[in-house]
Chain A
Amino acid sequence: MSVAATTDVGVHVKRRGFFQLLFPSVFSGIILGVIGAAVCGIIVSHIVSPPTPDVIDYTNDSTAVAVYAGWTIFFFIGIGAFNGIIKWGFGRKEPTLAEEQDLAGKDQGFWRYFRYTTDHKVVGMQYLATVLFTFLLGSLGAFSIRLEQSQPGALFFTPSTYNTIVGMHGILMIASTIIMVSGPFGNFILPIMIGARDMAFPRLNALSYWLLFTALPVFLSTLFLGGFQTGWTGYAPLADQGGPGQDAYAFTIILFALSTTIAAVNIVTTVLILRTKGMTWGRLPVFVWGVLLSVVLGLTAFPAFFTSQIMVLMDRVFQTSFFIGTMGGSNWVYEHLFWFMGHPEVYVIALPSLAIAAEIASVFARKPLFGYRLMVSGLVGITVLSFIVWGHHLYTSGSEAAIGGPFMLDTELISIPTGVVFLVLVGTLWRGKIWVTVPLLFVVGLLVNFVIGGITGLYLADVPTDEILHGGMFVVAHFHFTLVGSMVFGFMAGFYYWFPKMVGKRLDPFLGKLHFWLFEIGFVGTFSALFYAGLEGEARWQASVPPEYAVPNLIASLFAILIAASVFTLIYNVVMTLVRGEKAEANEWGAKTLEWTVPTPVPLENFEELPVITSDPYNYGEPEAEEATVGAAPAKAELQTEG
């Protein structure tokens, strides 16, 4: 049933029937995507690939790539992604406000989360749900690994299956951590924080999320195609030799890189162009700086990874030889391309997490941020330096030894801006009126773990010590302390901090604190034991634990049970809050950034009138600061004059 209602200004708002809601939606997208995948796969396997027996059989790879391409293209047709493009080019009139709002999911209830919805808050929630889901999958992989490594010998998995689990866990967690902040919070919170009504390009915003969505089944299909044995780095030429599961890996990375690139250009444009009046660069919340620099880094670093996966797919499908030494290729090309993304990627993850920590530290210490400019300088310094450190991953690869020195120096230099950021975080908390909340606990956890992760990183930056430690468990423990202990803790801080604004309900603080303590104790216990195992000489990439390292591995596995308990505590807390949680207040924490000035749930266009900013958002303790942060709304005439 479709009913058109006319408002007092003549805006037509359509109501939809059940079938009109399904088409287009994720439902029609999946149906068409599956049909497209099947058709493309059948065509390529039966027509395009040579059926004669005297040629090499690369049917599986070409078919797999055709299936993935068909799935992606037809999914987007099915979900209606191309409708807007066609109307943009060939429509006779611009979309009306009602049509735009309809596309943004106005009055569509819960179903708007399953459509090509353009509202930044919907996209932010879609990202959040997806990130939590992928974290859960990645965690299952982690627990499987610890289970297998709890005793010497093969317990549950064959070495090949174990390799696939490690690789899937690795790339799933890396991808999840790359988007965990800029996806959910960068979409939901950032536009409100800068006083915008939406992202600069709402349709591209939806596109970035749904590209990520299409990558998930492609990635999971590797389980049915024999997995991939290269680990999360997908190193070639091993990547050239694996089964069709490797195609899934490469295609997933291509989709993921497209998604993050589109998200990045959208976020950068939003911050550059849509800041409200008075939101100068010097008043920009630190979180916005963190996300902005993170996506700029991603925008410039990820294309190299994209290129490397195109090369791998070409080697596999068209029999090229980028990485085959006998034909003039080289494995080092892959390593350089991969790590040109691979190391900046750590900072793509770190920058927004550290920025969240700074936001939260200021709010819960009720103090101005200690050294705003210092903090921003530190973040910018990390961004710039992170482009020239990738070579430290190649110390032991056998490439030219002379490059070791410069890369060692660059890598150690990056500890200076990182130390500055750390100083700002500690300085903000120092002598503050600390309000111990769950977000703040996670910030403190981040600081503790970041010290351990950072200092152990110095040993891996130095060529001599890296020669000893590189292939061992020490590296595993180091990067988990950095990525999980520091950055995921930063995400968790943001999750507990913004959850009331995003969902409108208050998470149980007791369960939140239980989650934190289980996670922190379990995490430090697990990876401290692995540090010890690494120092004792245990190599990584072993499906079976050698007997001499049984004790530290058993300790690590026992502590991992606490991490598992923390995950279930979080899930229980979220589910119970969604079912019967208390309603959150509009400004749950008494914070001063703009997202806390709008009602909860946030209206479709965020602000009734766009705010005018008159001071920075960290002026806690200053007289009449409440009034000073956000000025009176401008007259409508003033807004029109701006245009």
Chain B
Amino acid sequence: MSETAITATEHAHEGESHALPLHTRVSRARAIVILLIISDVMMVASIMAAGGYLNAINTANAFKVSTDQPAFPPGLIVAIVLVLSGLCYFWWERSVRAGGNQQAAVVLAMLLMLGAFGCEIWYWLALNYTTAPLSAPAYDTYQSIVLLVTGFSTVHLFLAAVVGVLMTGRSANGRLKGQEYLVQAAGYWWYYTVLSGVLIWLFTVIL
């Protein structure tokens, strides 16, 4: 094919976002987010299964000591900020579905997600676990699990914040018109992040 040649197919694609009909793009966006969530759920499940298993067998009666339990308020604050972020996103999604675009809502949702990310780091620091080990290993198994799920949750929140920044950018540039399905598909991930963040925190509380 020469550089300047253009096929009939290409003609057909011009102005059609490269041939994919709208309903296909909608299904495609929904499908991939749901599949990513399924994969992520399996990872969360594997972490919880590992934690539950270690708790159950309690090797050498050394799984956890009483001072291991993280302080309650930091985790609760992260959970509250996350839920607020989810509500703001829902507010935005509803406005987009209704044909409008409450940009303040997405900006707020994104800022709250960034806030939750910051709070999660604060939660990590507030754990006050050993940081300068004289001998390995430094952390008992319960502490190890708390560190793992906290790190995992931090990555989750960071990814959701990145999604929020990108969606805000598109919204600000007026590039969601005719592509409202993107708001819905990104919303799946947003709500999942909120839900998994809260569940993971509750898991460390009850373990």
Question: A: which residues have CB within 8 A of B?
Answer: 5, 7-9, 11, 13, 15, 50, 54-56, 58, 85, 88-94, 97, 100, 106-107, 197, 200-201, 204, 261, 264-266, 268-269, 272-274, 299-304, 306-307, 310-311, 314-315, 318-322, 324-330, 332-333, 336-337, 340, 603-605, 607-609, 636, 639-640, 642-643
Tell me which residues across on chain B come within 8 A of A15, comparing CB atoms.
Answer: 3
Chain B's nearest CB lies how many Å from the CB of A170?
A: 23
* Docked pose: A320 CA to B5 CA in angstroms: 61
Partner of A50, one of B23, B43, B132: B132
| Interface size classification for chain B | 35 or more
Q: Does B47 contact A (CB under 8 A)?
A: yes
B166:A89 contact, CB within 8 angstroms: yes
Sampled A-B contacts (6; CB under 8 Å): A9-B11, A274-B28, A311-B144, A315-B144, A328-B58, A328-B61
Q: Taking CB as reference atom, which chain B residue is nearest A608?
A: B9
B40:A13 contact, CB within 8 angstroms: no
Chain B, 80-119, CB within 8 A of any chain A CB: none
A322:B24 contact, CB within 8 angstroms: no
Of all A-B residue pairs in the complex, the 5 with the closest CB atoms, nearest first, are A643-B21, A89-B166, A328-B141, A320-B144, A328-B63
* A311-B50, A319-B138, A328-B141 known; A89 vs B7 contact (CB < 8 Å): no
* Docked pose: A264 CA to B36 CA in angstroms: 10
Chain B's nearest CB lies how many Å from the CB of A383?
A: 14
| Chain A proximity mask over B36-62: 1 for CB below 8 Å, otherwise 0 | 101110110011011001100111111
* Docked pose: A609 CA to B35 CA in angstroms: 30
A94:B139 contact, CB within 8 angstroms: no
B13:A269 contact, CB within 8 angstroms: no
Tell me which residues across on chain A come within 8 A of B136, comparing CB atoms.
Answer: 56, 58, 319
B141:A107 contact, CB within 8 angstroms: no
A315:B38 contact, CB within 8 angstroms: no
* Docked pose: A605 CA to B14 CA in angstroms: 14
* Docked pose: A314 CA to B138 CA in angstroms: 11
B148:A328 contact, CB within 8 angstroms: no
B35:A306 contact, CB within 8 angstroms: no
* Docked pose: A15 CA to B2 CA in angstroms: 12
B138:A333 contact, CB within 8 angstroms: no
Query: Which one of B69-77, B167-175, B192-200 is at the interface?
Result: B167-175
B35:A13 contact, CB within 8 angstroms: no
B137:A607 contact, CB within 8 angstroms: no
Chain B, 1-28, CB within 8 A of any chain A CB: 1, 3-14, 16-19, 21-24, 27-28
A327:B133 contact, CB within 8 angstroms: no
Q: Does B135 contact A (CB under 8 A)?
A: yes
A269:B35 contact, CB within 8 angstroms: yes
Partner of B62, one of A310, A328, A608: A328
Residue in A100, A273, A603, A640 with the greatest tally of chain B CB atoms within 10 Å: A273
Chain B, 147-173, CB within 8 A of any chain A CB: 147-148, 151, 165-167, 169-170, 173
B11:A328 contact, CB within 8 angstroms: no
Task: Supply 16 further A-B pairs (C-beta < 8 A) apart from A90-B173, A272-B27.
Answer: A9-B14, A92-B175, A94-B175, A266-B32, A304-B42, A315-B137, A319-B136, A322-B145, A326-B62, A327-B60, A327-B144, A340-B46, A605-B9, A608-B7, A636-B12, A643-B22
